[in-house]
Amino acid sequence: MAYKYLKDDSLMTDMDSGEDTQHSTHLLESRMEDLRQKLIELPAGHEPLARADLLLDLGRTLVELQQNENAWDAGREAFDLYVASETWEGAVQACDIMFLADQPDSLAALGQGIWLAVTYPVDPELTVVLLQHVVDDTPPDSDGAAVAAVAAHYIVELRAHEGKERENLLFYTNQLLATVARRHSDVHDQPMFERWSKKLELDDPAKFLPRLRNVVDVLVQDNWWIDRDALTAKLPVN
């Protein structure tokens, strides 16, 4: 299944399917210059989100061009603009760009993106994207990968609207969880999966969600760019 926030841009899709790498690079460079020009031409007094949206597109393009430091800078500025306006989905997308930019604070960006994606009702597919980064970047025997995978499935069940997209996401997260179970404990059938899930306490959100917070804390350490306590206090449940 293609990830919306990594592959949905029509330009990117066309280039992914092309065989001419040089031509693809040329298109990306043209897009990069176009976005930079649009940033320069923003009128005085423009809406901050107009700049943030352009920076987000620029960051994605720079990641494709492997200009990782510049991609990080674009993502970081976009993140601050989105957080200031409490536009959480944009902030999460900016975190994804910063993680893909592979810079010293990329793990901190991933952790904060996951915290925001779980705390706020952003697109569940985007949440799955960030949680899969944890699965992909942890050792096969890591319990953290299992927690990330089950959290991804839980978020889709909780938030995805009825329809084909929900079915696809649930199928995908089921497969992700099965893959993690196989590599973690050589699980290869349903009874084994149920025992494994119970042993790791993956069958109860009240138990695996606090463990996800621990995973996030390990990723971010003390490098938080948001005030979690202040944001939590503003949630409707409080």
Residue type present at position 152: A
pLDDT in tens, 137-182: 999 889 999 999 999 999 999 999 999 999 999 999 999 999 999 9
Is the predicted pLDDT of residue 237 greater than 80, yes or no? Answer: no
Four-point Cα dihedral 96, 100, 104, 107, nearest 10: 50
pLDDT in tens, 67-112: 999 999 999 999 999 999 999 999 999 999 999 999 999 999 999 9
- Please, where are the H alpha helices in the chain? 4-7, 10-16, 21-40, 48-64, 68-84, 88-100, 106-119, 124-136, 143-159, 164-185, 190-199, 205-220, 228-233
pLDDT confidence tier of residue 200, bands split at 50, 70 and 90 = very high
d(CA 152, CA 135): 10
pTM for the whole thing? 0.88
In this prediction, residue 76 carries a pLDDT of: 98
In this prediction, residue 91 carries a pLDDT of: 98
pLDDT in tens, 2-38: 223 323 343 334 445 555 677 699 999 999 999 999 9
Is the predicted pLDDT of residue 226 greater than 50, yes or no? Answer: yes
Task: Give 51's contacts (C-beta < 8 A, 6+ positions apart).
Answer: 39, 42, 81
Specify whether the CB–CB gap between 117 and 92 falls below 8 A. yes
